[in-house]
Every structure is written in structure tokens, then in C-alpha cells.
Amino acid sequence: MTTKESQGELHPGDRVRSLFPFFTEGPGGCYLDSAATTQKPAVVIDCLRDVLVNHNANVHRGAYRLSAHATELYDQARVKIARMIGAKSERSIVFVRGTTEAINLVAYGCELLFNPGDVILLSLLEHHSNIVPWQLLAKRRGLTIAFTEITATGELDIADYRAKVAALKPKMVAITQLANSLGTVTPIQEVVEIARNAGAMTLVDGAQGITHLGVDVESLGCDFYAFSGHKMYGPTGIGVLYGRPERLEAMQPFQGGGDMISYVSVEGSGWAEVPQRFEAGTPAFPEAIALGAAADFLTRFSKTEVHHHEVELVGFALETLRGEPGVTLYGPATNGGHQTSVCSFSLDTVHPHDFATIADTFNVQVRAGNHCAMPALRKLGVQATIRMSFGVYSSKADVVSVVTAIREARRIFGR
């Protein structure tokens, strides 16, 4: 019988850092901004370089071997992504630049399915990328946008959600799987089930969830699932929109140009089959192929182990910071709720941006600001927080370094 290690499985924690050149060859330090972008393992960097050096030819358009092989690698990456998220067919996978473009694609592509007065239901936890595209659509089509409330600690108010779905009968429900600002884990299975039973389309923002929780889209039952490569140890400039085949078929193209057409004439044009219909122009094929390598890398970890590791880090961070004067903590875990991968806090005498600058002198990288989640923070009564966000390479030592920076910041500001 083969063991986990002999099968090449990996485990989160200190030892996995050796697989990331950032920690072995680069600046290293305490990188606690993985919710913004993750560091890249050597296998992803090497894959991207290999494509650019050895397989760099435009896909789908060449009758020569180099182009045919690049196309084959590109198609294989689509299959890997479909397998990773539990999609039945790779034709449900559309390569985009990231979560933002994926949501914009749905908002534009489904535009003609909406009628004036239709309701789009979001939540106050959403990243701006899952708010602004719907606001733009609402202006174009005369729609109404409603928001599900959150609790005082930043959890999704499921009772309010149920009531609003029943009363408003939304045409679209678009809600995050894991909130980037607070680390809130939403009851996304229940959210999707309630929406579908009410006849609504569903979009899940999986930008954070894909890495920290994983997904099986068929089991989840959502119509759309969006995520970014650079938040799952892959390259920037590449992401994925998963769509149920019937939903993708009903959408109009987001962009026009080469490679998304079946024919072009002076009288008009016809569209290519899904998903190529939504991938106009030369795709980011080196990045897509490297995203396939990131999917291979990520699937070498047990989802349960990753989740346990990051929940444990959040718990350790909360316990440690509670002992520091002047610290206010935010998020569901402060009251026993479900939170992972993110710990947000503020200091009574130090602005978040000032703290981030001071922490940087200790080679500690944290995020300061509103985290593109203004509605969530305003609901909690704050304008900005300091955010630690964890990855498979994060450790308790990183948290201890943050405490050192906190004490130095309070010394500098006289408290």
C-alpha cells in the first residue's frame, strides 16, 4: 500500500516553504497578505518559464507542431481545472483574467435575461468585484439591488437572507464563499439551495474559497463559480469562470474579435461554441497552462488539512492578540463563529496604514485598508483594518512577528 508521502501529497506548515522560491531565494520574511495574492511554488514558476521558452506559439491558429503542442497544453489545463472543481465537462470552464472579469462576464453576458424591476441579491460581505458589476447592470437595465445583512461579528444573517429571497424573488443571487475582509465562511450550500428553490440564478465568488475550502461545483449546484489564479498559487492575469452549460449557452459574448467566432462576413458574424465564445483574441495561454500546474500543486494537499491549519492559525492569532493592549479584533471567530485564513484587527492609537509601514521594517507584510469591502467594514463601524491572511506556508511564528511589530508601533506612537 502506498503512503500519502509516496503519492506526493503535501502538508501545510513551515516545511512547505522550501517549495516556494520567494522564501528560499527571494526576500522571504513573514508574508501575511495571501488573500491579496499568494506566493508561487517553483513548479508553477518553472512551468511558466518552460512554456515561454519551449512552447511559445499562438494556440488554435497554427498548422505547425509548436502551435499544436501549445494548444494541447492549453486544453489540458482546462481539463485539470474542471477536474479540480468537480465540473462534469471542461466545456464549462472559461478562462478569464480573474474573478473580477468572470463576474463582469456574467453580468454582461446575462444582461438580456433581466427585465426592468428584477432583483439582484448580494450580501454586505461582498468584495467590490461582486458589487460594482451588478450596479452597472442595474443602471443599464433598471434593476434593483438588495443586500443580505450581516451580524455584529460579520457572519451572514441567514434568517435575513431567507426572508429576502422569499419576499423579493431575486433573479440572481451572487454571494461569496469566503469573505476576504473578515475570513467569514458563508453557509454557501444552504445559500445556493435556497436561491435555486426560489428559481434564482446563482453566482458564487470563490476567489478566496477555492484555495482555503475547495469546491465541488456539481455538488454545490451553483450556476456560476468564479476564481482567480493568483490567489491559488498560480500566475496573475488568469482566472476561471465555471458555468453550467445551459447558462453559458444562453449568454451573449462579452468581447468580440478573433477566435470567438464561427464565421465573419460583411453582413454579420456567428459565434464559436462554448467556452471559446467567451475567449476573444489571443488567450493568456502560458498563464493558463501554469494555472494547470497550480491546480496540480493545490490538489496535492488535503482540503481538510489546509482548513485545519488555517483555522488553527486564526485561533492562535486571536488568542495571542487578545493579550495585547489596544487591539480590537473583528470576525466571526471572536464570538465562536466560522472563520478561516484571515485575522483582521485594529489598534487604538495607530492607523492601519502606519502599522503596515512599521511592520514592513520587521519584514512582516500585512494588508491595511478597507480590503475592497467597504460595505462590510462600515457595517462593523470601521473604515479600515489591519489584515493578516494565511496560506499553506504560514506559521505561528509569523503571528509572533506581528506582535513584535505591534509593540514597536505602540512604542513609536507613545502608548
Active site positions, annotated: 372
CA–CA distance, 240 with 4 (Å, rounded to integer): 29
Would you state the torsion angle of the CA atoms of residues 192, 196, 200, 206, taken in this order, to the nearest 10 degrees?
A: 20
Q: If DSSP codes are grouped into helix, strand and coil, which group holds residue 136?
A: helix
| Dihedral sign, Cα of residue 285, residue 287, residue 291, residue 297 | positive
User: Whose grid coordinates read 506526493?
Assistant: 8
Residue 119 host element (H or E): strand 119-123
Burial (CB count within 10 angstroms: exposed 0-12, middle 13-18, buried 19+), residue 6: exposed
CB burial string 340-352: b at 16+ within 10 A, e below: bbbbbbbbeebbb
In contact, 240 and 102? CB cutoff 8 Å: yes
CB 55, CB 70: distance < 8 Å: yes
Residue type, 30: C
DSSP string of 145-169? EEEE-B-TTS-B-HHHHHHHHHHH-
Residue whose entry in the numeric block shows the C-alpha cell 488555517: 310
DSSP string, 392-415: TT--HHHHHHHHHHHHHHHHHTT-
Residues 6+ apart with CB under 8 A from 120: 134, 137, 138, 143, 144, 145, 146, 170, 171, 172, 173, 174
